[in-house]
A and B are shown apart, each in its own frame.
Chain A
Amino acid sequence: MSRYVIGRIGQAALVLWAAFTVSFVLLQALPGDAILIKFLNPELGLGPEQIAEIRASYAADSPLWMQYFTTATNFLTGHFGYSIHAGVPVGDLLLANLPPTLWLATLGFLLSLVLAVTLAALSALSPFSWLRSFIQSIPALFISTPVFWLGILLIQVFSFQLRLIPVINPGPWEALILPVVTLAVPISAPLAQILMRNIDHVLTEPFVAVARAKGASHRWVLSKHVAKNAVLPTLTIGGILFGELLAGAVVTEAVFGLNGIGGLTQRSVGDQDIAVLQAIVVFSATAFVLINLTVDLLYPVFDPRLRVRQGALA
């Protein structure tokens, strides 16, 4: 058990280190940098020496390997450097932009879970096979819906035509409704598909026949035997979908004009604000790794087969 936990935590640390290193190399390899973009502006009238001075103050002139180690050490101690564009600590920027994204992502994920489970349950309980195949085709529709298109469509319908949700100065909750729906729909699709396929598969298992032979009804079998077995493989995909959630948040925030990590990412890319981008990459990787670590550690809780060591003697 403890070997399993230590192994998984070690893997997580390795993934984080790799994410940091790869993003560092890629960001450094970009042509131009934020200092040039900001200070080479002719209106500022700065000479080459002054720019070199500014570069030195950001330690941008030291050799790459030294920058790598300083940045790594700073990250480990919680210092993410300064945004060149905004001139404030990157940590403050992240903290300011985090809450909207966190709400958006959490609510979006929860809604996608509700959608997926509802669809899967409807399909499993539907008494007619035509109804079941209809419900099972819905996720395919969801998955082929682009986030930006769905967002614009929802604004058109609910804000401009039905006038249910104000576009200008909406309340904090009202402002979240449409973005959350936009984000949840495409993410619910793979979840629902996998859940449905798992349910259909588990229903063909001999232990389901044994349960029916005990006199259990279809509903009893679904809730007491199928549900838990069908959810197990879905856990992994749930963790992986969190990555989709981050990518989706960038587009969604742009469409709905929300100030979150997505918006910050978009602006920082435009400004080539490497310090901010580096911090965002490491932050997202940490979140992704933590979620997947949680999933891995949850598995033995749900699946007793993973609780004991298995070997040739088992």
Chain B
Amino acid sequence: MSTVITFKPVSTAHSNAPVLEIGHLAVGYRGSDGFQRVVHDVSLRVRPGEVVALVGESGSGKTTTAQAVIGLLAENGRLEAGAVRLNGTDIAGWSQKQLDTIRGSKISLIPQDPTSSLNPVKTIGAQVAEVLQIHRRGSRAEIDARVVELLARVGLSRPELRAKQYSHELSGGMRQRVLIAIAIALRPALIIADEPTSALDVTVQKRILDLIDELRREYGTAVLLVTHDLGVAADRANHIVVLKGGRIQEQGPTSEILASPRSEYTRKLLADAPSLGKIRAVPRARSPRIRGSDDAIVVQNLVQDFSVGGRREAFRAVDDVSFTVQRGTTHAIVGESGSGKTTTARGIVGFQKPTSGRILVDGVDVTTLRGENLRRFRKTIQLVYQNPFASLDPQQTIFQIVEEPLLNFDPLPRDDRARKVHAILERVGLPQSVLTRKPRALSGGQRQRVAIARALVLDPQVLVLDEAVSALDVTVQAQILELLEELQQALGLTYLFISHDLAVVRQISDTVSVLHNGRQVDSGLVEDVFLRPGSAYTRELISAIPGQRNVSPR
């Protein structure tokens, strides 16, 4: 590399010269319909040892801004105007070759999805060593030793073993630790953390964010934290920048933004963020149930085993789970990945036969149903899936999607079907104009409304909502939750709400079961479980909800 770059000596955390200074940044993408600017006039500063959070919903330009800083815009993207000063040097106009000399050494990246961010065919050790090799830091033996040291530093047990393992042999949290080890390997002045914990379970999320905090304090590294989660930003950042539509809505010290937001948009974000529940301190007021106290769902001693890889021994995914759900109420099943919550839901819908135990839905024993009876039974219980982008057939129009369940059951004349589709669409708050469109022309929130309409068109008794709002932006999430609430009141629906997000669960549920490794560790009324958790695991879950610290770290 021929370019010699001189950086001002990285002084300790007390120097006030910003590590990163973005001035009037504008970024655009060349698309099929011409050039489109997605980031307009963004200016911000990150000082040594400081965490600045870029907060916004999808499409707000937060990730584009971060990518522009590290010079990794998509191929059709272009930095159009503005300055990106790293320790005083403007790198906005630098070539990729020049940027290669500072990426990894002066700026580094902690990416969003740890699973796809590690090369599946290279060992963990090789991928950590790579950053040292690229910047020629030390001999082979020195690099190998440093790799083990780094893996140990980020809290991985048995680092020598981990170095020889492949990405698929590690859990999500361990993978993110590996990526953090890569990011801190050369002690960069600035780390860009792009949604570093969005793909992780809440307890893992807390541990990873704690680790980033700790390393930041230890090395005096500045962090540009990109997140959609205001709770995370509130907990971790000194300074918050709120983006919408590629423009800064407002920015300022975290405490000020939280306490007295100036822009309308920030106020709305704060109101919609379920994880900032403590800040709002208004527990959801559930209307008392007047209807009869009959049970819509009864689950008794549910056990589900799976055989593992041809071996004789079985893996117990659900272990002795029991709960009842009153008609017209919402029961939440909460747990992290691998807790058995989805397996439980699949048993209730009748997708798989439990190993033992009883499941009654609307008085019918699901476990004994077969063939046509099982198919008929599906009319009373419907599913809404997590990902509204994958659960709708891209080739069908919205009308066809919503109409399809009607064709599978009692044959209705065409006019009646159309009338029903129109009525249900209005019910979920979609304009009739979407009927002729395909799913790709709709936003995420609209798609999830379509999925709800499709589930409701058969007039089911029970709706199973499997992470139904997890993929949505907070404001959209709040709207969908409101819609679900309203539908429940009007139609007397019973919800089974599967979620990893305790904050959302607290908002929408009457009762809750907390699952951990297939066992039910806590259950009862939501407020009881939240205020007086019966198990250490539930306590850990509750304390891991972001947005509780309210005060930024010093």
| Chain A contacts to B: CB under 8 angstroms | 3, 205-207, 209-218, 220, 224-225, 228-229, 232, 302-305, 308-314
- Which one of B17-25, B200-208, B271-279, B303-311 is at the A interface? B303-311
Q: B residues within 8 A CB of A308?
A: 169
Closest to A231 in B: B121
Q: Is the CB of A212 within 8 A of B103?
A: yes
Per-residue contact bits, chain B 311-349, to A (CB 8 Å; 1 contact, 0 not) = 100010100000000000000000000000000000000
Nearest Cβ in chain A — how far from B195, in angstroms? 11
Min CB gap A253→B, angstroms: 39
**Looking at the complex, which one of A206, A212, A217 makes contact with B112 (CB distance below 8 Å)?**
A206
Q: B118–A210 contact, CB under 8 A?
A: yes
List chain B residues, Cβ under 8 A from A206. 111-113, 116-117
Confirm or deny: B222 has a beta carbon within 8 angstroms of a beta carbon on chain A. no
Identify B104's interface contact among A205, A215, A218, A232, CB under 8 A. A215
Among residues of B, the one whose C-beta sits closest to the C-beta of A3 is B310
Q: Could you list some 16 contacts between A and B, CB below 8 A?
A: A206-B117, A207-B116, A210-B118, A211-B119, A214-B182, A215-B101, A215-B103, A215-B104, A215-B131, A216-B130, A218-B96, A225-B119, A232-B121, A305-B121, A305-B166, A312-B306
Give CA–CA (A3, B311) in the complex, Å. 12
Query: Does the CB pair A210–B105 fall under 8 Å?
Result: no
Closest to A204 in B: B74
**B121 and A209 contact, CB distance less than 8 A:** no
Question: In the complex the two chains form, is A209's CB within 8 Å of B130's CB?
Answer: no
- With contacts A213-B104, A216-B100, A312-B317 taken as known, whether A304 is within 8 angstroms of B308 at the C-beta atoms is no
B97 located at the interface, meaning its Cβ lies under 8 Å from any Cβ of chain A in the complex:
yes
CB < 8 Å: which of B103, B116, B306, B310 contacts A213? B103
Of A215, A303, A309, the contact of B135 (CB 8 Å cutoff): A215
Q: How far is A224 from B129 in the complex, measured between Cα atoms in Å?
A: 13
Q: Indicate if the CB atoms of B166 and A304 lie closer than 8 Å.
A: yes
| Apart from A211-B119, A214-B131, A309-B309: 11 A-B pairs, beta carbons within 8 A | A205-B116, A209-B111, A210-B118, A213-B109, A214-B182, A225-B119, A232-B121, A303-B120, A304-B120, A305-B168, A312-B317
CB distance from B438 to the nearest CB of A (A): 24
Check B156 for interface membership: any CB of A closer than 8 A. no
Tell me if B551 counts as interface (CB < 8 A to partner A): no
The answer to whether B182 and A303 have CB atoms under 8 Å apart is: no
Asked whether A215 lies within 8 Å of B121 as measured between CB atoms, the reply is no
A214 and B134 contact, CB distance less than 8 A: yes
Distance A311 CA – B134 CA, assembled complex (angstroms): 37
- Which residue on chain B has the smallest CB distance to residue A207? B119
Tell me if B122 counts as interface (CB < 8 A to partner A).
yes
Question: With A214-B104, A215-B101, A229-B121 given, is the CB distance from A313 to B315 under 8 Å?
Answer: yes
CB distance from A131 to the nearest CB of B (A): 15
Most buried by B among A228, A304, A314: A304
Assess whether B103 is in contact with A229, with CB atoms less than 8 Å apart: no
State the interface size on chain B (CB cutoff 8 A).
Answer: 39
A209 to B116, CA, bound (A): 10
Known contacts A210-B179, A302-B121, A309-B309; decide if A215 and B134 are in contact (CB<8 Å): yes
Closest partner residue, chain A, to B168 (CB atom)? A305
User: Which B residues between 258 and 314 are near A, CB-CB below 8 angstroms?
Assistant: 306, 308-311
Shortest CB distance B311–A (Å): 8
| B166 touching A216, Cβ below 8 Å | no
Q: Which of B166-200 contact A (CB under 8 A)?
A: 166, 168-169, 179, 182
Distance in angstroms between the alpha carbons of A232 and B121 in the assembled complex: 10
| A309–B122 alpha-carbon span in the complex (Å) | 18
| B-to-A contact residues, CB < 8 Å | 70, 72, 96-97, 100-105, 107-109, 111-113, 116-122, 130-131, 134-135, 166, 168-169, 179, 182, 306, 308-311, 315, 317
Query: Most chain-A CB neighbours within 10 Å: which of B105, B112, B120, B166?
Result: B120
Contact B105 A215 (CB under 8 A): yes
Question: Once the chains bind, are B120 and A305 in contact (CB under 8 Å)?
Answer: yes
Which residues of B have CB within 8 Å of A225?
119, 122
| A303 & B121 in contact (Cβ 8 Å cutoff) | yes
Closest to B126 in A: A224
Q: Across the two chains, which residue of chain B brings its CB closest to A129?
A: B75
Q: Name the CB-closest residue of A to B317.
A: A312
Residues of B within 8 A of A303 (CB): 120-121
Known contacts A206-B112, A214-B182; A220 and B134 CB within 8 A of each other:
yes
Nearest Cβ in chain A — how far from B307, in angstroms? 8
Hey, which chain A residues are within 8 Å of B100, CB to CB? 215-217
Does B134 lie within 8 Å of A216, measured CB to CB? yes
Closest to B113 in A: A206
CB distance from B136 to the nearest CB of A (A): 10
Q: Which of A212, A214, A311 contacts B308 (CB 8 A)?
A: A311
A304 to B118, CA, bound (A): 13
Q: Which of A212, A216, A304 contacts B121 (CB 8 A)?
A: A304
Residues of chain A lying within 8 A (CB to CB) of residue B72: 209, 212-213
B170 CB, nearest partner CB in chain A, Å: 11
- B311 / chain A contacts, CB cutoff of 8 Å: 311
| Bound CA span A225–B167, Å | 14
Q: Tell me whether B111 and A210 are in contact (CB under 8 A).
A: yes
Inter-chain CA distance A161–B149, complex, in Å, is: 68
B122 contact set on A, CB distance < 8 A: 224-225
* Interchain CB contact under 8 A, A228 and B121: yes
Query: In angstroms, how far is the closest chain B Cβ from the Cβ of A163?
Result: 48
Name the distance in Å between B18's Cβ and chain A's nearest Cβ: 21
A211 with B130: in contact, given A3-B310, A206-B111, A304-B166 (CB under 8 Å)? Answer: yes
Cα–Cα, bound, A214→B118 (Å): 12
Contacts of B121 in A (CB 8 A): 228-229, 232, 302-305
Please measure, in the bound complex, the distance between the C-alpha atom of A214 and the C-alpha atom of B99, giving whole angstroms. Answer: 10
Write the chain A residue with the least CB distance to B105: A215
CA distance A313 to B305 in the complex (A): 12
- Docked Cα-Cα span, A195 to B131, in Å, equals 27
Tell me whether A312 and B308 are in contact in the complex, defined as CB-CB below 8 angstroms, given that A210-B182, A304-B168, A305-B166 are known contacts: yes
Alpha-carbon gap, A206 to B121, bound state (A): 14
How far apart sit A217 and B133, CA to CA, in the bound complex (Å)?
A: 12
CA distance A313 to B310 in the complex (A): 13
A310 and B166 CA atoms in complex are apart in Å by: 14
Closest to B116 in A: A206
Residues of B within 8 A of A215 (CB): 100-105, 131, 134-135
- Bound together, the chains give a CA A228 to CA B104 distance in angstroms of 23
- Closest chain B residue to A218, Cβ basis: B96
